């Protein structure tokens, strides 16, 4: 049996010649020609998946997509800022592409590009942000959903134990309301970029920059990573309470404190050289 010729003839005879879809197909042992033709008409192409990870920067997300050999690589991973134009994003609504993509698992097939996945991830992010914003707690200190997304990115980077997300959100929200500095290390580290060598110093905390939350009041100018839905939800549903400080215990969890005196004791207890959080 000359299978290609048979398929062409059978497609014409059955009136589906113009319905055969191009793509990558997985032909299983024992599959009959008729089943193969039906698969080509149905367009049941081989599907792959890629997972974008919570807390990654846009640069890390791009690197992950570029590692997928079956995706066409059309986005320059070295120039994240160009994504605004490449993906057709509203530059007013999205002054930065950081945080613009929802960390989830996305499916693709051969012939699709990294830009296709990013568009799907951005649409998913906008949908989730709109849904969560509509159900937000009252009287939050955010002017718009973008500011909530910025807060969610801080929560994502600070959270080591999922059950603490809302509690961390509560600390940050109370500090904003009381016009206290957020003093969150991940934002400072993000602002340092390639200058950060893994050791955050007192000098770093004294160096002016838009992401230095030890010097600048309020939120940073953009997200510092890709927050997942749980972090977005926490930003919009912070836990009630009186805690204003937290410090890492070293096991992923945090010690929370109401006063600076309590916080300083916790810092000494866990042998950290400086406070913050």
Q: Is 26 exposed, middle or buried (0-12, 13-18, 19+ CB in 10 A)?
A: exposed
Can you tell me the distance from the alpha carbon of 128 to that of 135, in angstroms, rounded to the nearest whole number?
11
The model carries a pTM of 0.83
Q: For the chain, 277 residues long, give each residue's pLDDT as a single digit of tens.
A: 465 676 677 667 676 777 777 778 877 887 777 787 787 877 677 889 999 999 999 999 999 999 999 999 998 867 777 788 888 888 888 989 999 999 999 999 988 999 999 999 999 999 999 999 999 999 999 999 999 999 999 999 999 999 999 999 999 999 999 999 999 999 999 999 999 998 999 999 999 999 999 999 999 999 999 999 999 999 999 999 999 999 999 889 999 999 999 999 999 988 644 444 4
Can you tell me the distance from the alpha carbon of 271 to that of 197, in angstroms, rounded to the nearest whole number?
21
């Amino acid at each position: 049996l000359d299978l290609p010729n048979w398929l062409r003839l059978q497609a014409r005879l059955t009136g589906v010649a113009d319905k055969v879809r191009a793509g990558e197909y997985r032909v299983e042992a024992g599959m009959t020609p008729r089943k193969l033709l039906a698969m080509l008409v149905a367009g049941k192409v081989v599907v792959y998946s890629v997972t974008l990870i919570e807390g990654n920067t846009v640069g890390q997300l791009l690197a992950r997509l570029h590692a997928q050999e079956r995706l066409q690589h059309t986005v320059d991973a070295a120039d994240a800022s160009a994504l605004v134009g490449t993906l057709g994003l509203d530059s007013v609504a999205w002054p930065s592409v950081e945080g613009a993509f929802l960390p989830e698992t996305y499916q693709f097939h051969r012939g699709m590009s990294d830009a296709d996945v990013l568009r799907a991830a951005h649409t998913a992010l906008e949908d989730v942000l709109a849904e969560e914003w509509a159900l937000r707690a009252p009287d939050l200190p955010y002017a718009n959903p973008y500011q909530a997304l910025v807060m969610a990115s801080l929560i994502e980077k600070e959270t080591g134990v999922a059950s603490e997300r809302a509690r961390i959100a509560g600390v940050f929200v109370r500090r904003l309301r009381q016009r206290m500095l957020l003093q969150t290390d991940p934002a400072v580290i993000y602002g340092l970029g390639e200058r950060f060598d893994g050791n955050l110093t007192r000098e770093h905390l004294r160096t002016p920059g838009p992401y230095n939350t030890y010097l600048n009041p309020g939120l940073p100018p953009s997200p510092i990573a890709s927050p997942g839905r749980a972090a977005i939800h926490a930003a919009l549903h912070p836990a009630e309470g009186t805690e204003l400080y937290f410090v890492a215990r070293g096991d992923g969890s945090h010690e929370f404190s109401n006063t600076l005196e309590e916080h300083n004791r916790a810092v000494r207890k866990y042998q950290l050289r400086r406070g913050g959080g």
